[in-house]
Amino acid sequence: MSAAWTFRSEEVTGDVEAPLPLLSVRFAPAVDGLNRAQSGRPFVIPIEVTRQPGAPAASLRDLTVDASYDGGQSWSPAVLLRLGDVAIALVRHPAGAGLVSLRADAVDRDGNRVEQTILGAYRLRDR
């Protein structure tokens, strides 16, 4: 997994703790006990964009999700249905066994951003 954050914060003085406005994208695909999903069909992936507890929470401005079936060499955009900080991504798994990689780019209204990639997020199974 790799992630890159862009965020704005203000200087804090003294012993005051201030959580940074870092975004994170959580993928929750319904995979089996061996971390596999069925190949050759459409697949729904629930998604949630989260923040650190106590951090400023500007509303989400944009979210994109892509899937790769060749180790991140090429990417296909997912169809997204989004409501606030939660979304459902629809991808089409190719036939055959293999690995699925996921990447997301989320930006809130304050300009805070996360670019997140998970290579080999889960496997595909033929049956």
> In degrees rounded to 5, what are phi and psi of residue 104?
-140, 155
The reported pLDDT for the residue numbered 85 is: 96
The reported pLDDT for the residue numbered 110 is: 94
Residue 73 domain-assigned (yes or no): yes
- Mean pLDDT value across residues 37-48: 97
Is 92's pLDDT higher than 90?
yes
pLDDT band at 111 (very low <50, low <70, confident <90, very high): very high
Domains of the chain: total: 1
pLDDT digits over 72-86, tens only?
999 999 999 999 999
Return the SS3 of 10: coil
Distance of CA 44 to the CA centre of its chain: 13
Residue 2 domain-assigned (yes or no): no
Is 105's pLDDT higher than 80?
yes
- Which range of residues forms the domain containing residue 75? 21-125
| Averaged confidence pLDDT in the chain | 94
Q: How far apart are CA 2 and CA 22, in angstroms?
A: 14
113-125 and 36-38 beta bridge pairing:
parallel
CATH number for the domain harbouring residue 48: 2.60.40.10
